[in-house]
Chain A
Amino acid sequence: MTDETPESAADGGQDGPGDVGDIAGERAANLLDEVSRLRRQTRTRRHAYWLPLLLFGLLTFLSVPFYVQPTPSRIAAGHTVTSPVPYLPGFGGLARSGWQGYLAVYWLVAIAAGFAVTYLWYRRRGRRVGLWTPARGFLITGAVISLLVLILPLTGLVPGDLVIRGTFPFMIIAAGLAVLAWAERSRALTAIAVLYAGIALVASLYNIENVLFRLGWNPSASQWRLTGLPNVLLPALILLLAGGGAYFAQRTRRRPA
């Protein structure tokens, strides 16, 4: 910042239009430019959303084994017995057999860990950079939605269409990212959150493999077990790509010219 004082801008402006007023206008414009510069600089220093994007992308990717359907031979051999895991359709979908029975446990832990790690990440970064991002809303959003998802089935209220594929945790992540976009005041993260929410909704309501079938994918008998994976891999890919892009973009912008 320079030592120029804005008082002179204001004082000059009191005389009304003319040369003095023009000088006041020019000084006011310089002040506004400086406000914009400081705002951009502060946001660039504060933005740190690459980590939650990569984290939730990775957690989604690691959930893939739970979405592999049991083999027909295991079904015939009686391996489809009801899972010992409690019925948590909001986290694990309606399937309760084989590995899929443990999907609910995986997501329950992954969502809790993902939201907690993200919150701690923003706290740590706030201390290191000297700028705090209000991330508590992100944590509360995750906790409230997760609690509702746990409680609602007990009352008989299960939005079947949304939870049937076991992809409702993506909607919890989307809600968290939307809150984070607000806290970060980031248009880029808002766009990512909206795109991801759309993909998460599609993954919850539609079998994305149908698109691949139309494009020519003709799975063999052994590949049929994997046909549910596009609904998981696509959201994971979106988050990983967005997180990687955000990491390099934020690193580039912070590098001194």
Chain B
Amino acid sequence: MAGHNHNKPESEAALRVKAIEQLLAEKGLVDPAALDVMVDLYENRVGPRNGAAVVARAWSDEAFKVRLLDDATAAIADVGYSGIQGEDMVVVENTPEVHNVVVCTLCSCYPWPVLGLPPVWYKSFAYRSRVVREPRAVLAEFDLVIPDETEIRVWDSSAEIRYLVLPRRPADSDGLDEEALAALVTRDGMIGVAAV
């Protein structure tokens, strides 16, 4: 038969996952269609645009910002975002005096409802081990230089508490509406490895 086999041999991990999915489906424990929904949710629908909307609202509405800093989970739910791995969220505000950065040294805990799933670097051994010990050096690797006189606070997330950074509103953003403000906010800013 002409033509060649386009299928690369599957990796060991891919085969094991396929085996496990089949075994669990045969026992009625997983429904492959339900797994599809979960994958789609986190691949395409839950992500940092959620957090950016929260940040933009906090920049625009002082009362909301106060509520966000006091009870982040409730305030974020008011904006429409809640769910697994965000049952207890805490928002930490960057100021001229304090710059915040978030990590999970033990695994990869992250506020999914507002940021989606964490990037590979956040889960890396290098980030997990170094940012708590030498945050300025790590931030410099992200091209973020924090002045010596600014305190850096590193927040180690846990199974129970997930942190989100409220970045400083850019100086030249007066007059922008919430949608335009949200477009300025990056995932890296909400983790603390970028200014905004």
- A is bound by B: no
Interface on A for B, CB 8 Å cutoff?
none
B residues neighboring A (CB under 8 Å): none
